[in-house]
Structure formats: C-alpha cells, structure tokens
Structure 1
C-alpha cells in the first residue's frame, strides 16, 4: 500500500491542499476480481465540503495498475452511508487507509461506522424493510397473475432485502457479499434462499411455498423493521395524516415506499386507522395512529 500511496501522491496532494477537503482514503483491492472497487486496483476517496459537483470521478492507469478517484461532497457521502445508497463506500471507509485527515474528520467517520449507532441502524433497517415489503407485494401480485418468471425474480430481490434487514438486526453493515454474512448469523434466512435456488419443484409450486415461508419471516420482523417510523409516530399523541409523515424530515430517505409500508403495518395491526370527516358525504380522511 505504501508503494501505491507514493505513486498516487501527486494526484491527491493537490486536493489535500484545498481548504474544503476533509480527508483522503486509499483502498486497495484484495482479490483479482473485486466488485467493491469495480475491479480497479485502488480507490482514492476524497471527501470535500460544499463541492461544486457533489460526486466527481476520474480514472487513472499507471505501471500496469488502475485507480479510480472519487471526490464526494460530505452531504452525499452521509446520505449514501445512511441509506446504503452506494454500498461500496462503507467498505472503503471502514477498511481504507487514511492518508490525509483534516481535524480527524476521517478518523471520526471510521469510528462512527464501526460503532454503528442505534439511530443509524434503525434508519437503514426501515429503508431496507420498506423495500422488502414492496418487492414482496409485487412478487405476490405477479404470482397471482401467473407471471411466474417475473414473480421468481421479485422473490430473489425480496429475499435479498430480507437478508440485509437480518444483518442490520445483528448490528452489522450489510456487505456486497451479504449472503456470506447471513449464512453465519441467521441460518434460517439463508435456508430460504438456498431452497429458492436449489428446489426442484415446478416454478409455480416453488414460488407458492416461498411466499408462505417469506410471509412469516417478514411478519416476525415487522415491528423491529419499522421501528424508525414507529418512533417518529410516538412524537405526538394525535393521529398522523399521510402528508405529515411524508414531509417529516426523518422519513425523507424512504418516502417513495412510505405508503406501502404504512398499509402493511395497518394490515399487521401495528398501526390503526382513524377516519376524519370531510365536506364530502361518506368520504373520510385516513389518519394513522399507533396501537
């Protein structure tokens, strides 16, 4: 890594000298084929404040090696970390080497990721859980419409979200090799995935069985998976309108899936509906309240 650092010094030194640069990390690929680095030999992650362009990427080649430089605004970086929007970056930050650090910014960021505070875990969980509900519902709809191949694809996707929720429940960041993690920490969820891949049942029968098995696995995680949203709803005793929840600053990372998540929680009797009269006859506003 020292050799690589010396070779790349002219590239990152110019950036490090700029006052809005907060830190520089160097991450070298470990295996010959590395999805974490898009198969580049090294990643340079440069975090900046108030960048003109929130994410700038440049590729280099030198001495039969390749490098990718990512200059990322700290606001976008934090969004990626909070929502797993760009999962590779978590690996880069946790396992990369700090080669420039202004006021211990990168050191503190590494420590925060390693400790994985509860509020960050809850947010990531609800983001993944809401995606899980959407994928699972779409799978069921496709199955009911006899689109079995498409339903199978959605089942694979929903199990992937389930795997990520499972890893987050155990206090870990989901990695790109998430099933490797799940195999060690939750054999039951891993078994679901294995059965989907290895079952010799006809496709229709296989999906039907997986829907039943997944339903239980999802239901048992509903309260914990949606904990971030439920905590928000505890902020006041009165019912919430959908509009109030949608514009709440803490739900902004999952607003696109908020409606289907609320509907699921209502079906599971975790949230109740209260009807409020409107000017229209027999037309009511729906409002949501914790049980």
Structure 2
C-alpha cells in the first residue's frame, strides 16, 4: 500500500475528517513541506486540536499536520503564503461536500476582497521594513539597512504580483522577472551592482520612497473603505476589528500614523469615557478633500 492510500484508508472512517491533502516533495530541502518527503494535511471539523506528527513508511518521511476548518480559514484569511500553496498545489485525497475543492477554486479565482487583503498585508510589511532600513541608514548600520531594504523589496514584489492577479510563489524573483522586469532590475541593483553597498541601498531606498508615496492610498483601500462607511471618527481598536481587516497580521498603528503624516487621515482628540481631561483619546477620520 503506497503512502497516499495508507492515509486514505486510515482517515476514511473518521467521521470528523472533512478533507485530506497530500503534498509530495520533488526537490530536496523544499521549505514548502519543511524538508520531509510528504506533507499530509488532515482537516477536521471545528474544535479539533492542532497537532503535528512525523512518521516513516516504506522509507518515506511524512509530516502529518492536523487542524480544524476554523484554523484553515483563519490562515487563508490572514493570507498565509504556505497554506495557500498547500491548497493550490496539493492533491486532494478525500473531502466532504467539496469543501477543499471550493477553497481551491476560491483561491484560484483570487477574488477582489482576498486580493485587497493580501495587498494590504504586504504593504504593511513593506512599510515596516522600509522605515527600519531608513533608520538603519541614519544610524550608519549599513548591513542592517541592506537586510531590511531587501525585505522591503520582497514585499514590493509581492504587491506587484497581487496587482497583476497572481498569488506570489516561493520563487518570487523568478516569478517577478516575468511579470515586472522593473522591480527585478532593482533586485539586481541591490545584489549585483558594482557600486558600494551603501550606494546600492540608497538607490533602492529612493525607489522605495517613491513607491510609499504612490501606492499608499491604493494599498490601504480597505482602511479607506472603513473610514468612508461612517462620519464618526474611528478608534484604533475599531479599525482593528473592522471585518475585512481583523484577521490580518499587520502593523495597523504604523499604517494609520503614516496616513496621518501624508494628510490622508487626521487625528481627532476625544474626551475618554472616564472623563479625565488630561488624557485625550485619539481617533481617526478621513481628511476632507
């Protein structure tokens, strides 16, 4: 009995299993399945414990990851790159009510809301690493600046791919070379230019600065959608709990403060609930155009 058939037979009779996915590893050290030969995903009904197990059968090392439907949907909502690759590339061994097939079709279609969420999350990473690189340069920490600007460029590449309707792959630079040669050229400039390391970093930082200025509004469309949905100012907590945003792992405070600096959003000081006039609560509102 081969590995896939073994797992099908093992889980077929377990009534709380809603899906089984297998991802084989054709390349050594592939991080998609963390260096093993096979990854098997066991998706159970809501409430199941999340576990990881390593097993060996007929010389094949297999990782078995078990989680429930809520966890899977949370990962997808948070735009976990690995999970998306698992769902898109994996072989569905068994499923109930087309549950995994429907998820795969949704991911392949890359609907607008998913695209906006993924772009927003990548912009958050871009902004954080770009600003850290900027601080590193001011502190004359050139190697750290290089590391952070490389990370910023990686997020930028993801943003471009998302805007073109692609899910970013693990081999992002091979992918971006086909889709957007201009961003790939910056990557080459940062990694292979004969100029000094500091000169390379500063050149790419200038391009990043231009991108921050020009992409901020479009990448933050979910935030602008929230601001436009009511006239009252928003607390940072209310923005974090806005439905299209609350599952995302982003630096929301950092983004909002930069929107304030760019005059897209303005701060409003409000008397707190306890009535203390010495400590005002900051809330946020779209700047009147």
Give the TM-score normalised by the residue count of structure 2.
0.89
For the pair 1:115 / 2:106, whether they are aligned, the reply is: no
Match of 1:181 among 175, 183, 196: 175
- Equivalent position SS for 2:207: helix
* Structure 1 residues 256 and 170: alpha-carbon distance in aligned structure 2, compared to 1, 3 A threshold: closer
CA–CA distance in structure 1, aligned partners of residues 21 and 240 of structure 2: 36
Deviation at 1:254, TM superposition (A): 4.2
CA–CA distance in structure 1, aligned partners of residues 9 and 47 of structure 2: 17
Match of 2:239 among 235, 245, 265: 245
For the pair 1:74 / 2:69, whether they are aligned, the reply is: yes
For the pair 1:42 / 2:38, whether they are aligned, the reply is: yes
Q: In the alignment, which residue of structure 1 is the partner of 2:283?
A: 287
Match of 2:13 among 10, 17, 24: 17
Q: In the alignment, which residue of structure 2 is the partner of 1:207?
A: 201
* Structure 1 residues 60 and 223: alpha-carbon distance in aligned structure 2, compared to 1, 3 A threshold: same
CA–CA distance in structure 2, aligned partners of residues 196 and 180 of structure 1: 16
CA–CA distance in structure 2, aligned partners of residues 83 and 256 of structure 1: 9
For the pair 1:231 / 2:188, whether they are aligned, the reply is: no
Please give the residue correspondences for 1:122-137 in structure 2 after superposition, counting only pairs within 5 Å: 122-137=116-131
* Structure 1 residues 280 and 184: alpha-carbon distance in aligned structure 2, compared to 1, 3 A threshold: same
Match of 1:31 among 5, 27, 30: 27
For the pair 1:57 / 2:52, whether they are aligned, the reply is: yes
- Provide, for residues 236-288 of structure 1, a one-character-per-residue CA deviation record: whole Å limited to 9, x for no partner: 1222122322343433234650110011222223223334467547x754332
Match of 2:155 among 157, 161, 177: 161
Q: In the alignment, which residue of structure 1 is the partner of 2:140?
A: 146
Q: In the alignment, which residue of structure 1 is the partner of 2:82?
A: 88
Match of 2:164 among 160, 170, 174: 170
CA–CA distance in structure 2, aligned partners of residues 194 and 268 of structure 1: 30
- Equivalent position SS for 1:71: strand
Contact 1:43 1:70 in 2 (8 A): yes
CA–CA distance in structure 1, aligned partners of residues 178 and 118 of structure 2: 21
- Provide, for residues 10-43 of structure 1, a one-character-per-residue CA deviation record: whole Å limited to 9, x for no partner: 3343323222211111222233442222232222
Deviation at 1:116, TM superposition (A): 1.2
Contact 1:21 1:48 in 2 (8 A): yes
* Structure 1 residues 65 and 10: alpha-carbon distance in aligned structure 2, compared to 1, 3 A threshold: closer
Contact 2:43 2:68 in 1 (8 A): yes
CA–CA distance in structure 2, aligned partners of residues 14 and 216 of structure 1: 55
Contact 2:53 2:65 in 1 (8 A): yes
CA–CA distance in structure 1, aligned partners of residues 233 and 66 of structure 2: 43
Contact 2:233 2:283 in 1 (8 A): yes
More helix per residue: 1
- Equivalent position SS for 1:13: helix
CA-based RMSD? 2.2
Q: How many residues align?
A: 284
CA–CA distance in structure 2, aligned partners of residues 66 and 255 of structure 1: 32
Deviation at 1:129, TM superposition (A): 0.8
